[in-house]
């Protein structure tokens, strides 16, 4: 069928086929090494750790304070039948400790020997961070739990060393400091 308003289906399909194969033939730039991390606010700073350590993010439940237990434990709560400690690690990281408001959350994290929850000021989501934007921490004593920094969307992101943080004697209830 030819005439006004008719289409050359064969020609259109041929153009589409050529465009498809041209796109397949183009060499895509191989993505560099990346780190999938949970970003959150802690001490007014943007922080992150690898998602493999995070089990879930919770709204703040009612926390039961324990007598004679000091920082970093701020209380315990029931996590599906398991009594779990909520920890505020801002003092261990030498961060400011602004009050926790309605944006505050608990991040349930899995250590090698226990599960606990970290109190955070707000969850920013899971992001893919390019390793070429990573800068190792200088190794200062006050940064013993910080692996380094990322430049992410024009903002500095501190990458926490979660295994080292969870292994710190201060994180164990009843441990000698």
Residue 123 tokens, joined: 């969850």
Position 108 scores a pLDDT of 96
What CATH number is attached to the domain comprising 77? 2.40.50.180
Q: Is residue 13 part of a domain?
A: no
pLDDT: which is higher, 84 or 143:
84
Confidence of residue 24 (pLDDT cuts 50, 70, 90): low
- pTM for the model: 0.76
Three-state DSSP state, 53 = helix
Whether the pLDDT of residue 1 is over 60: the answer is: no
Q: Is residue 132 part of a domain?
A: yes
Least confident interval from 5-9, 72-76, 117-121:
5-9
Q: Is residue 131 part of a domain?
A: yes
Domain count, the chain: 1
What range defines the domain where residue 40 resides?
Answer: 34-171
Whether the pLDDT of residue 154 is over 80: the answer is: yes
**Mean pLDDT along residues 143-168:** 90
What is the spatial distance between Cα 8 and Cα 11, in angstroms, rounded to a whole number?
Answer: 5
Position 8 scores a pLDDT of 82
- What DSSP designation does 162 have? H
Nearest to 45 by CA among 161, 160, 132, 168: 160
Q: Which residues contact 88 (CB under 8 A, 6 or more apart)?
A: 71, 72, 74, 97, 118, 119
Q: Is residue 12 part of a domain?
A: no
Q: Which residues contact 133 (CB under 8 A, 6 or more apart)?
A: 150, 151, 152
High-pLDDT (> 90) share of the chain, %: 51
CA angle, 66 then 68 then 70, to 5°: 85
pLDDT: which is higher, 44 or 14:
44
């Amino acid at each position: 069928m030819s005439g006004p308003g008719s289409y050359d289906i064969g020609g259109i399909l041929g153009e589409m086929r050529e465009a498809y194969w041209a796109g397949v033939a183009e060499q895509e730039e191989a993505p560099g090494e990346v780190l999938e991390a949970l970003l959150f606010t802690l001490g007014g700073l943007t922080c992150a750790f690898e998602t493999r350590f995070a089990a879930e993010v919770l709204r703040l439940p009612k926390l039961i304070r324990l007598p004679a237990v000091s920082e970093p434990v701020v209380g315990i709560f029931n996590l599906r039948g398991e009594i779990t400690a909520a920890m505020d690690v801002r003092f261990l990281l030498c961060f400011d400790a602004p009050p926790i408001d309605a944006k505050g959350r608990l991040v349930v994290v899995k250590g090698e020997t226990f599960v606990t929850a970290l109190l955070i000021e707000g969850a920013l989501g899971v992001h893919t961070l390019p390793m070429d934007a990573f800068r190792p921490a200088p190794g200062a004593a006050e940064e013993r739990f910080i692996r380094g920094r990322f430049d992410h969307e024009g903002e500095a992101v501190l990458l926490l060393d979660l295994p080292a943080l969870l292994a710190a004697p201060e994180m164990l209830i009843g441990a000698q400091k």
